[in-house]
Structure 1
């Protein structure tokens, strides 16, 4: 594989580095010229995979910025912007960002694991404990699954709400990462409870008391886990990020994991870019959820069919899909995903666009998007250097 693609990705991560941590984009766009929790941690994971000590130092600054600006109730900032002595902290726009909390825990623990330094976890133990208590509170009914508001995670203009699969899986990864260091029986038990609830409520023909038995029985569970459910019922779109995390964490039976892999590869191969869309199928104007989708935007509407979250393809999401394929022993398929990521990242002289129309291949969103570069770095190093994260 060409080293040029990798070098360009590293260069962009360097350009997106600041004294406070990783910025979402190297482009001078106000809302992206901030240290974002999820973007920053994902870029930090790429920094660890790269072994570049300067980039790893930027990851450390990212984590420090997030920890310093943690809310007293435990909330981790969605993003932080510093301008001289002025610090602007956002904990979310139309709703708070649940995944900022879990990504922060993952980031601390992955950094400590890479450094083989328990002192890092000890330093941030108070911050992590606040996060864990907050996550417990966000269950609301104390039954194991987080209840996430509409617009409450990275898919902040999409239709998922309630018991969102992606957030449950990130919580499992966060708890497993933290428990690697503290070896706490209560955390181990919590991981089992959450994992059990995911399998009971998001996989077909499961045994156990469902959160919403009637709604579960009304849907046809396909060859993947549905994206979310709430008191109003299930939303059954395929969530590429969430199902990639499920494969990476090896949740669900081996037979069902194989079904997810087969479905995902077939869907990828059907698309023009040979990359997974973020959510599938797209919501069209004639669909019942169109009004909900259309109204869930703070500024301009971006979720046209096949674009953005509504069926658009993201390098970042496909980076995690590639990691999932590797974890499932699908090395050749993971290499194909990396080649497709490199191809879209290279468009317009390596502009690293945020996402692409999965039907036309046209670029969308912000250029020089740092986590588009991060995807290429993480996956390339996992393939070529056998780099592994803590899971």
Structure 2
């Protein structure tokens, strides 16, 4: 690995718009950016990006799976560092995709992770449940990587495998209603109780379909590209219809494919009298209807272009009022699930991981904080976005053993770091936010 620092495409924090940042704040951001690059380099391995620095974390028991190239971690790290001009980072981005795609099963199931020490793929998580979002993120990252490099050879190499992967993902729509059916513990919230139609996964499915359509377009398959783009548009309409309850719900979008005309049970229709949402709700199933706000998924929905600006502004006003960015940007769930709530599960207490304001149950995740800053910037509130970026830098500067650890997550109330140190996606999310706030916001996940 070379000893030169990766360089962004444009100099940071030098525009006239930064006049409202103090000298100390600008210095904090510049130091944070360099520290994020250092944290990112600590995750470069011959197999691809590790989830967290292998040299700076002691792992034992189930924590050993941190010594892996993770599909969701690696894909996000790729997407959020594509602006860097550095040969070592570029090579690691490519190796991450190759490692995951080379170990994809014959049926198209992408492994949730591949161990770095022995190259063993792991396809399931807690309870032996399949990881659904792994494949979604890998398709997205592959398209983003090839588009950024203007080189589609990597996608071409895995062309046949991509076809099978998309078939496997489409099969997760087990009843043909247009949305994926996600098992509990089937995505990044692998110790949290969400299932069936889960907003986070549906947003990724929307984006994945669009990305695959772009890949097919590059392959010269115009008909296939049009099919997947139309498919993605329909999925986007179903998400808005079913996850944004309204007393004046719109008609479902027309679908020329009769196989997709299975009626979709909609709590947004059945319980419209409850009122009008100000955000996309976290989960919908035939047996439950959660009014909780998955902050992460809502931020993604606007950034990838699923939600329009008016709705995104409404969501921002709601989230700003709840204080999800205090003490740091940003809690991943509002409100948290308390013991005794319908959604509470006894296993939340395993390792005390998902207690209220912990981990997936309202913990503060710096990578989600990076999305929060980009979300606000895309809404046009540049000054506020930069003030929130300063808060995110202050968060990432904290550490258990030293400054600028870019920890995995922080306690939702105290703000103290509780996760692994030098987490790849925490550093990458900060880098991407720094780039986005100096240029026009991009509709990338």
How does the TM-score come out when normalised to structure 2?
0.82
Cα deviation code 1:279-327 (max 9, x no counterpart): 110111132222x2x3257x52301111111111100112122222233
**1-structure distance, mates of 2:373, 2:166:** 29
Partners of 1:138 and 1:296 lie apart in 2 by 26
Shift of 1:389: 5.8
Report the Cα distance in structure 1 between the residues aligned to 2:303 and 2:84, rounded to whole angstroms.
20
User: In structure 1, how many angstroms separate the alpha carbons of the residues matched to 2:310 and 2:441?
Assistant: 27
Structure 2: which 5+ runs fail to align?
1-25, 218-224, 253-262
Match runs of 1:236-385 below 5 Å:
236-268=291-323, 271-290=325-344, 292=345, 294-295=346-347, 300-348=351-399, 349-385=403-439
Indicate the structure (1 or 2) with the bigger Cα radius of gyration: 2
C-alpha distance 143-264 of structure 1, shift in aligned 2 (>3 A): same
1:119 corresponds to 2:153: yes
Note if contact 2:329-2:372 (Cα within 8 Å) is conserved in structure 1.
Answer: no
Checking the alignment, whether the CA contact within 8 Å between 1:272 and 1:360 is kept in structure 2 is no
Distance (Å, rounded) in 2 between the aligned partners of 1:213 and 1:175: 22
Q: Is the 8 A contact 2:213 2:227 kept in 1?
A: no
Cα displacement string for residues 75-112 of structure 1 (whole angstroms, at most 9, x for unaligned residues): 111011132xx322111212111110110001111110
Q: Secondary structure in 2 aligned to 1:49?
A: coil
State whether structure 2 residue 287 is matched by structure 1 residue 207.
Answer: no
Q: Does 1:15 align with 2:42?
A: yes
For the 8 Å contact 1:215–1:233, the answer to whether it is kept is no
The question of whether the paired residues in 1 share the 8 Å contact of 2:72 and 2:137 is answered with: yes
Q: More displaced, 93-102 or 122-131?
A: 122-131
After TM superposition, the structure 1 stretch with the greater mean CA deviation from structure 2, 229-238 or 108-117, is 229-238
Conserved in 2, the CA contact under 8 Å of 1:150 and 1:160?
A: yes
Give the aligned CA root-mean-square deviation in angstroms. 2.0
In structure 2, the residue matched to 1:194 is: 235
The alpha-carbon distance between structure 1 residues 271 and 8, as it changes in their structure 2 partners (threshold 3 A), is closer
Question: What is the count of residue pairs matched by the alignment?
Answer: 385
Counterparts of 2:194 and 2:73, CA distance in 1 = 20
Q: 1:261: how far off?
A: 2.1
In structure 2, the CA distance between the partners of 1:343 and 1:71, relative to structure 1 (3 Å rule), is same
2:136 corresponds to: 102
Q: Deviations over 1:155-184 (max 9, x none)?
A: 111221110111111111122223224231
For structure 1, which runs of at least 5 residues remain unmatched after alignment? none
